[in-house]
Amino acid sequence: MNPLAVPQKPDTNPTLTVLGFKHQIVYHLHFWAFVAVAPLIMVQWQQDHVLLATLLMLFCLNALAVIALLKFSGHYFLKGRLFPILAVVCAVYSTAINGHAGLYWAYPAAAALFFLLPMKEATGFNVIFLLAMSVVSFLKFPEADFWRITFSLGLTCVFVMIFAWLVGRLQGELTRLATTDPLTGCLNRSQLADVLNVQIQMRERYERVCSIILMDLDYFKLINDRWGHLAGDSVLQELPRRILKRLRESDQLFRVGGEEFMLVLPETRQKDADQLARELLTSISATPFGDGIKVTASASVAEIVKGETWSVWLNRADQALYRAKELGRNQVVSAARPSDEDTETSADPGFAH
């Protein structure tokens, strides 16, 4: 039996893995910020800096809220928006009343923003932060110190911004590599279970329909044996290009095996998916691939049925694909619905060899 038809533990979703790492960064930044700032509340209170002590207390309460919600519910409290506001206000005000003792906190605050907020927001906050610190420094310190503070804090922001930008690009590239097939550019199986589960939820909650098409190239091993693996790879690269010409933006194309592909078609009834599958098989067989390599494919179609799991849905499509192979290949077979009697609707005889 094809592994696709066997219920199995879903593959780890790379997008969720990256999100998990981001949550760990947020968690640790807030934890250590709380550890560093909490003792300062009493220090500022004893120095009769009541407003600053109050602001630092709000900062620590926000940190505790973020830590608690991330740990126990996985939610990011207010998306981290309070941290930059409170950090900027506290650092600017502390510098204004404490001089250099408050200035030292500006640098970690500026750096932290790039790891807690989207790049554009972090850049905007830091521009405002730098302007505010420049004004305070100009009023509070000698001119030489003003220039040192402004340029050193500005360079810190630039360096951290570049580093955070590179980390973001790296995360995006790693996610792309982990979720796409390197040969064909199609999505791979890492997100298959999640995509199908989303469609199942849409079916259960909103009565939305969705169909899948499983497609397998016929006698693909013969292509590799006769023309070589490079020619076989060329066929696998050309096939998605032909398929994608017929798909909508909401449709998704996966490579789920060596020469097996799957199309996820939201808002598509089984009869419409069946028609699309027939047209795709015609497109594949009508025009040779590469140096006159004639290719055909077999396909199956299955619409989601309320109450079934993704593995059962996929298993129905997989069994219909086996049926298409048994009937002579180069044709489409629609999977029987659980409520139907054990019948399957095959494509027109014209699709058979």
User: Residues 330, 349: contact at Cβ < 8 Å?
Assistant: no
Own/partner pairs, 35-39, CB within 8 angstroms, 24+ separation? 37/63
Q: Which domain holds residue 130?
A: 14-179
Please, which residues have CB within 8 angstroms of residue 277's CB and are 6 or more apart in sequence? 213, 215, 299, 300, 301, 332, 347
Same domain, 214 and 171: no
The Cα–Cα gap between 103 and 97 comes to 10
pLDDT digits (tens, 9 = 90+) for 244-287: 999 999 999 999 988 999 999 999 999 999 999 999 999 999 99
Q: What is the C-alpha end-to-end distance of the chain, expressed in Å?
A: 24
Same domain, 308 and 214: yes
1 within domain boundaries:
no
Lowest mean pLDDT, pick from 31-45, 149-163, 327-341: 327-341
User: Residues 95, 102: contact at Cβ < 8 Å?
Assistant: yes
Averaged over 326-350, what is the pLDDT? Answer: 66
Band of residue 307 on the pLDDT scale cut at 50, 70, 90: confident
Mean pLDDT of the chain: 86
pLDDT for position 117 = 85
315 has a pLDDT exceeding 80: yes
Q: What is the CATH number of the domain that holds 201?
A: 3.30.70.270
* Strand-pair category, 332-334 with 297-303: parallel
Same domain, 248 and 129: no
pLDDT for position 336 = 85
Same domain, 141 and 198: no
17 has a pLDDT exceeding 70: no
Buried residues in 259-286 as b, exposed as e (16+ CB within 10 A) = bbbbbbbbebebeebbebbbebbeebee
341 has a pLDDT exceeding 60: no
Same domain, 223 and 296: yes
Of 190 and 308, more confident: 308
Can you read off the two tokens belonging to residue 210? 């969705």
Sheet holding 297-303, edge to edge: 252-255, 260-266, 210-217, 297-303, 332-334, 345-346
**Block residue for tokens 């970690």:** 108
Averaged over 204-226, what is the pLDDT? Answer: 92
For the chain, the domain total comes to 2
35 has a pLDDT exceeding 90: yes
Averaged over 229-248, what is the pLDDT? Answer: 92
342 has a pLDDT exceeding 70: no
174 within domain boundaries:
yes
Q: Which of 73, 76, 90, 85 is nearest to 36 (CA)?
A: 90
pLDDT digits (tens, 9 = 90+) for 70-86: 888 878 888 778 888 89
Domain boundary among 126, 146, 179: 179
Q: Which of 280, 267, 240 is nearest to 256 (CA)?
A: 240
Percentage helix, strand, coil for the chain under 3-state DSSP, each rounded to 5: 65, 10, 25
2 within domain boundaries:
no
pLDDT digits (tens, 9 = 90+) for 109-137: 899 888 888 889 899 989 999 999 999 99
282 within domain boundaries:
yes
Same domain, 29 and 63: yes
347 has a pLDDT exceeding 50: no
CB atoms within 10 A of CB 307: 10
8 within domain boundaries:
no
pLDDT digits (tens, 9 = 90+) for 134-179: 999 999 999 999 999 999 999 999 999 999 899 888 888 887 888 8
pLDDT for position 23 = 79
Averaged over 8-13, what is the pLDDT? Answer: 47
pLDDT for position 14 = 61
For 305-326, give the secondary structure using H, E and C: CCCCCHHHHHHHHHHHHHHHHH
Band of residue 16 on the pLDDT scale cut at 50, 70, 90: low
pLDDT for position 79 = 79
Same domain, 194 and 318: yes
pLDDT for position 133 = 94
- Determine whether 322 is exposed, middle or buried from the number of CB atoms within 10 Å of its CB (0-12, 13-18, 19+): middle
Distance of CA 85 to the CA centre of its chain: 28
Averaged over 293-309, what is the pLDDT? Answer: 93
